Structure 1
Amino acid sequence: MRQPWRVAIVGGGISGLAAAVRLRARAPAGTEITVYEQSGALGGKLRTGELAGQPVEFGAESFLMRDPAGGESAAVALARRLGLAGEIVHPTVGQAALAVDGGLRPVPGGTLVGVPGDLAKVTTVAQPAADADRDAGRPLLAPGADVSVGALVRSRLGDQVVDRLVDPMLGGVYAGRADDLSLVTTMPALARAARTEHTLVGAVRAAQAAAPRAPGAPVFGTLAGGLSRLVEAAATASGATIRRDAAVRELTPTATGWRLTVGPTRDPELVAADAVVLAVPARPAARLLAGVAPTAAATVGALDYASVALITLALPEPALPALSGFLVPATEGLLIKASTFFTTKWGHLARPDGPALVRASVGRYGEEASLQVADADLVDTVHRELSKVLGAALPAPVASHVQRWGGALPQYTPGHADRVAAVRAALRGAHPTLALAGAGYDGVGIPVCVRSGATAAEEIITALGGSAA
């Protein structure tokens, strides 16, 4: 392989930037890394903004502190590598609630994404089925099998546990429904435990025991000053050439690597690269793969996405409960599916003389029509529904912001992990210098995306002849 390597990263979200950071650390000196970002901003769904003079996240709000095995998450490891570990802050209020039967009830403890490890603890919000979770003498999940989360939990614990607890928890993360989402992809620890355990409660307890958390250890973290700091630091540390407003329209294999067609049709730029990391959502990735690996492109392009909107209100002196926020089951009939009392949850942002920031998430998979209204109408609806849930009229906002994320959240149906594995195996065999990274393949959340990008970088390093380390 000629030196220096030339690696193109298509997509400037956190997955693409994590790939660039790993390449810089592990690839031979002099490797040329270029990040092509179609929009004018890096970071993807990580976007820190300002409202009423206060910083607020207009996209992802936080990251998990631990990985599935109980160690430091990939997001924490990246922050540490970038010199930001000392800037990690944690929620000052951790208790969240569920909006059930017109009131707020605390989210029960001891659950795994809403799936209970103790049935007695969830009776405040949902009644398990009378014959719940009987041991049938065999594991819940066969080797290699995958089911929807809703199908498994309904069969073991009944409808109420799914509709009032599991569905809103998954909806808050994926904007999807438990009955559609893959257990293996969305809850891998539970899926692993279900292959040996005979009851769902037993599987939850086994999954929790496999990744123990020290008492009082924080679950979530963010960065003082906002998550855009992680984006900026990663871009700088990578030493990559950053090309904003640079849409990659075509990807063509060559005798020595790849040719990228960049920019408008009327004035295209042709760029040569030895390897490519595709760190873009599934559909744009499928378009680029169509001429390279049609079968893989069809599989990748079949992944569907949910659209959401985040509405943030700056409220003067509201009477808010001492909660981090609340989740809303779809059965409650509200547009809001989740709300965060931002300046309550994140005490480092609260100002004695400033307004409270409250953020609501709206939009569920299959209900995109609910978002086809003006920003002002979304703000009014959110304000009205927040007042209804809290049982008191909230003051009029002094400022508001609507952030729309079209096609933001992948909907992983059962079998997703196997389909992605097959695509990657096919690409590895035919085009080893082409790697996929991002939420469309490996799951949502900042740590998963960081790990996905780093793994793609390692694949490229191996394909090009090994690292310098």
Structure 2
Amino acid sequence: MTRHVAVIGGGISGLAAALRLSEAGVAVTVVDQADRLGGKLHTRADGVELGAEQFLMRDPAWGPSGAMRLVSALKLEHLLEHPVAGGAGLWVAGALRPLPTGTVMGVPGPDTDLVGVATLSDGDVDRGAPVLAPREDRSVGELVRERLGDEVVTHLVDPLLGGVYAGRADGLSLQATMPVLHRFLGREHTVRAAVQRAAGTSRAHQPGTPVFGTLRGGLGTLVEAARAELERRGVEIHLGMPVRDLARTATGWTLTVGAATEDAPRAARPWRLDADAVVLAVPARPAARLLAPTAPEAAEQLGGLEYANVGLVTLTLPGVDLPALSGFLVPADQGMTIKAATFFSTKWAHHRRTDGSVLLRASVGRHGDHAVLQRPDAEIVAAVRADLAKVLGTALPEPASATVTRWGGALPQYAPGHVERVANARELLAELPLVLVGAAFDGVGIPACVNSAELAADLLLRAWN
């Protein structure tokens, strides 16, 4: 008998799960309330990214990352591109400085040069026991402030974590955001020794090999290739279709799909979808809402996860010289609107312009800071231009083009205890043919999302074999 799985969510996690399951001969239906696939992957018609722009090439064990496995499976290796610019910068005390090396997500090791960036405190001493007790999870900021001082958190850890999560170190879990470092903090007696061990263990960043990659034409190419392959396999894809209800039946699940309003087009009105199993590839709160009637305790574990809103400002500027950097980060105490900028036309060869203009993108918005994203587009663009002019040391011309992209609920904020809460939810769901996948549960970034999806799909497949 052919099994049927409903995948709720058409982001990269849902697509990767659908690919894995359909490859094994499972009938799959993908449902998403958005009018397009890809979730946070969104490429403009000219190939410029309005969402994620790159992915890690390797995992820490030196195998291909989840993203690269997907690229290979979809036969897109010929489109691979790697950054051509140097490292990133850090704007501190009115100067653009090289981003210190020898860190794990900004947490410095024993050889990290912090001159001009931060002053270390003398709290990172051997206290006769590992830094963390067994099963202990703390916020990154709390631990690093205690051991290494406030400036290390404010000027280095916060900007790096903010670049990935748009959050603040004081609210983010060590175990969820830095699992390898968290493991060594349970073995080593100082933070810097744990950083050294963690950095030495990972082989994802080996000298002489590309760390990051993207696809020429944009990451939307990955989404379209996934869609084409799914459709070739007979997978049904329904867009603009919210899942209103998820009910457990004697043999599986029944989903109520479609718009709730009476004036919705006939094709979008509620209809029923029966499935043997469900893949929930949606953010935590929608997942909790759908689970509440059937698995209220699991829903309670998931419903409290907060998200950060993010804004991206993409500018084409004529006649501007950019530093030989991929971009720069800005600590929150530097009095700027932007928190980071990427020099697309410097970082990526396929984004270089022949007309003398440059392409760059600035990021605004941190967790808990809603004011900047409530401003009109023109005001956000003006604030970004003023910040960039300060960093670049020159007045900037009017942009040839400017796009403001707002991502509401973009990035999950993993508070301490997140890993345990997700594990508890999955344990409560273990008897049901339902799996949780995606950034809400297992980490941000394309590789983490693909890993999450493939592991969950394999769990379902093993249960049926």
Q: Say whether 1:136 aligns with 2:136.
A: no
Q: 1: distance between equivalents of 2:403 and 2:19?
A: 32
Q: 1: distance between equivalents of 2:111 and 2:60?
A: 23
Moved more, 345-354 or 446-455: 345-354
Q: 1: distance between equivalents of 2:196 and 2:57?
A: 20
Q: Counterparts of 1:242-261 in structure 2 under 5 Å? A: 242-261=237-256
Structure 1 alignment gaps of length 5 or more: none
Q: Counterparts of 1:358-377 in structure 2 under 5 Å? A: 358-377=360-379
Question: Which residue of structure 2 aligns with residue 231 of structure 1?
Answer: 223
Residue aligned with 1:38, SS: coil
Q: 1: distance between equivalents of 2:136 and 2:78?
A: 42
1:384-432 Cα distance to aligned partner (Å, 9 max, x none): 1111122211111011111100011000000000000000010013x1x
Q: Counterparts of 1:30-109 in structure 2 under 5 Å? A: 31-50=26-45, 54-109=46-101
Q: Quote the offset at 1:94 in angstroms.
A: 3.0
Q: Quote the offset at 1:120 in angstroms.
A: 4.9
1:250-269 Cα distance to aligned partner (Å, 9 max, x none): 00011111100000224310
Question: Which residue of structure 1 aligns with residue 178 of structure 2?
Answer: 187
Moved more, 243-252 or 452-461: 452-461
TM-score of the aligned structures, taking structure 2 as reference length: 0.95
The 1:279/1:309 distance shift into structure 2, 3 A limit, reads: same
Residue aligned with 2:62, SS: coil
Question: Which residue of structure 2 aligns with residue 421 of structure 1?
Answer: 423
Q: Say whether the 8 Å CA contact 1:13–1:43 is kept in structure 2.
A: yes
Q: 1:101 is matched by which residue type in structure 2?
A: A
1:299-348 Cα distance to aligned partner (Å, 9 max, x none): 21110000011000100121211111110100112110110011111122
Q: Quote the offset at 1:236 in angstroms.
A: 2.1
Q: Say whether 1:169 aligns with 2:167.
A: no
Residue aligned with 2:23, SS: helix
Q: 1:126 is matched by which residue type in structure 2?
A: A
Q: 1:223 is matched by which residue type in structure 2?
A: L
Q: 1: distance between equivalents of 2:309 and 2:112?
A: 35
Q: Say whether 1:262 aligns with 2:262.
A: no
Q: Say whether the 8 Å CA contact 2:317–2:358 is kept in structure 1.
A: yes
Q: Quote the offset at 1:118 in angstroms.
A: 3.0
Q: Say whether the 8 Å CA contact 1:36–1:247 is kept in structure 2.
A: yes
Q: 1:294 is matched by which residue type in structure 2?
A: P
Aligned residues, how many? 454
Q: Say whether the 8 Å CA contact 1:314–1:357 is kept in structure 2.
A: yes
Q: Counterparts of 1:263-278 in structure 2 under 5 Å? A: 263-265=258-260, 266=262, 267-278=269-280
Q: 2:73 is matched by which residue type in structure 1?
A: R
Q: Say whether the 8 Å CA contact 2:131–2:186 is kept in structure 1.
A: yes
Q: 1: distance between equivalents of 2:86 and 2:175?
A: 27
1:426-448 Cα distance to aligned partner (Å, 9 max, x none): 0013x1x1111110001111100
Q: Quote the offset at 1:247 in angstroms.
A: 0.8
Q: Say whether the 8 Å CA contact 1:103–1:390 is kept in structure 2.
A: no
Q: 1: distance between equivalents of 2:356 and 2:20?
A: 40
Residue aligned with 1:179, SS: helix
Q: Quote the offset at 1:215 in angstroms.
A: 1.8
Q: 2: distance between equivalents of 1:153 and 1:329?
A: 16
Q: Say whether the 8 Å CA contact 2:12–2:38 is kept in structure 1.
A: yes
Q: Say whether the 8 Å CA contact 1:119–1:128 is kept in structure 2.
A: no
Q: 1: distance between equivalents of 2:360 and 2:454?
A: 34
Q: 1:255 is matched by which residue type in structure 2?
A: A
Identical pairs, percent: 56
1:118-138 Cα distance to aligned partner (Å, 9 max, x none): 355122311111x24211121
Q: 2: distance between equivalents of 1:381 and 1:195?
A: 43
Q: Say whether the 8 Å CA contact 2:82–2:210 is kept in structure 1.
A: yes
Identify the match of residue 142 of structure 2 among 146, 151, 155: 151
Q: 1: distance between equivalents of 2:200 and 2:342?
A: 29
Q: 1:21 is matched by which residue type in structure 2?
A: L
Question: Which residue of structure 1 aligns with residue 390 of structure 2?
Answer: 388
Question: Which residue of structure 1 aligns with residue 4 of structure 2?
Answer: 6
Q: Say whether 1:314 aligns with 2:316.
A: yes
Q: 1: distance between equivalents of 2:17 and 2:86?
A: 32
Q: 2:27 is matched by which residue type in structure 1?
A: E
1:61-107 Cα distance to aligned partner (Å, 9 max, x none): 10011213332211111111110123221100131111111221110
Q: 2:304 is matched by which residue type in structure 1?
A: A
Q: 2: distance between equivalents of 1:91 and 1:114?
A: 21
Q: 1:20 is matched by which residue type in structure 2?
A: A
Structure 1 ranges of 4+ moved more than 6 A: none
Question: Which residue of structure 1 aligns with residue 265 of structure 2?
Answer: none
TM-score of the aligned structures, taking structure 1 as reference length: 0.95
Q: 1: distance between equivalents of 2:219 and 2:358?
A: 20
